[in-house]
Amino acid sequence: MGRYYRLSKEITEAEADEILRELREKEDLKSVELSEDRKMMKVETKDGEYASVMGAAVNICSRIARGCELSFEGFAY
């Protein structure tokens, strides 16, 4: 089961690519993808623990997309 997160602002395709590239380097990440409109992010971890992965995701999004924040939207079944 994964989780959906909403991005607080629009991001460019280049920002999206860089965010996904950096997140995919995380060891405990199983999968990450952005919706076609780049407003939602679906994250799934290998062990079901999200604290470290999402801590990194928040920092990566903020740094790359200049202040973009993430908020929990719901579970992906």
Please, are residues 74 and 6 in contact by the beta-carbon 8 Å criterion?
Answer: no
CB-neighbour burial class of residue 5 (10 A; exposed 0-12, middle 13-18, buried 19+)? buried
How far apart CA 48 and CA 14 sit, in angstroms, is 29
Prediction pTM value:
0.93
Which tokens go with 35? 């919706």
Secondary structure letter of residue 7 according to DSSP: E
- Give the residue carrying structure tokens 């997309």: 65
pLDDT at 65: 97
pLDDT at 47: 94
What is the tens place of the pLDDT at every residue in 5-26?
A: 999 999 999 999 999 999 999 9
Which residue type is seen at 57? A
